[in-house]
Structure 1
Amino acid sequence: MSETVIELRDATIMQEQQAVLQGVSFSLEKSAFVYLVGRTGSGKSSLLKTLYADLPLLVGSGTVAGFSLSKLPTSKVPYLRRRLGIVFQDFQLLSDRTVAENLMFVLNATGWNNKARKQQRISDVLSQVGLSGAANRMPHRLSGGEQQRVVIARAMLNEPALLLADEPTGNLDPDVSDSIMQLFAEINNAGTAILMATHNFQLLEKYPHRVLTCKDGALLDSARYQ
């Protein structure tokens, strides 16, 4: 049996005390690669925020990486997030620190304390994303595609069970987007589940996977219609 990394049952996704999605039920196995699509305002980002406990789950039940969302005390949220990798569209790198210092910041914040192990992990993830030579460069010296690779490296530091990506190719040109998609495929093939919100339907055609669609307050699952 493949490990389930997301399980939502009859969940209501809230944003600013308004229900944006209702009756949400789906599960993701550890080997899954799934797209999340829908118009702006349809609930994609709110669903992702609920999965990483930035928004509370007040109606229905849900587990993510073994943590129950409906019973999750604030003190446990950092432990959930250590099991996740989160990739944003706008990078959110610390501009006054090198690539390695950006990654070291995350390792320090998530409880790593062996200096040699930290340096080895930074080397490993930069190699994984094809940026072995970029450790001492500043973010503003990198292209958009390279910055996104650093963000993915940062997300992979704690060997997450699940990668949540919110429009990760939104600011990138098509060739760079292709290279990022190929990197995601490698990460997925190595055993990390990926849930990726996107507006780019060309990616869905070029790299077909299961699709979850936010539409009219509901979540439609392509797996139910195959």
Structure 2
Amino acid sequence: MMVELDVYVKAGIITLFVFLFGLMFVKYIDQDRLDRLNAELDKVSYGSESARLLQLYTLVFNLSQNERCSYFGREMNQSMVRSMELASLLEKEKDNSLSGSYLNIKHKFLLTNMELYLYSRQYRASCETRMESLLYFYDGKAFCPGCLVAEGRLESLKQRCPDVRVFAFPYNSDESLLSLLVSKYGVATVPAIIRANDEKVGTVSDLGAISCVSR
């Protein structure tokens, strides 16, 4: 009887150990993913910080237009590449159990990405550039078949036109600053795509007519 009890106790201890090890392993994996997302977010944020410092530097030292545009262009390109990489990572991790930290990172990315979009508009307005910035609004709260089609077309456009940059935002976000952008362009249904000259793309099919070099 004592032997049987001892076996059950050992089995219980082993089961508990395996369970606790599993919890610790999952927590470690989640933390590793969060650390990676935070590291990528920092890289994107550096671009915005550099743009802000450039504005101040220009005011203090009267930087020439050519110097300003050259530096601004390099920083914008690097920041937008990092932004797209982070957006891809966030999409891959959205179904994983990352607690509220994932949502916090996503919220910070949303604001940073909006700041980059505004800087891209400023850059386009003041410097000679081949860059075309597109605003893409999608549904962030419900399944949107049309948005999947639009994203496929946008990806094809980016491959065809390397100078195209796509800034994607959920049109039904609770972020108040983003709601200003949604209101400005009168976005009521998605997908909705806005060009850098504030022209709204009529249909997803019209993306194929966008020229790779545009001002």
Structure 2 length-normalised TM: 0.25
The structure that has the greater radius of gyration is 2
User: Greater relative contact order (Cα 8 A, min sep 6): structure 1 or 2?
Assistant: 1
Larger proportion of helix:
2
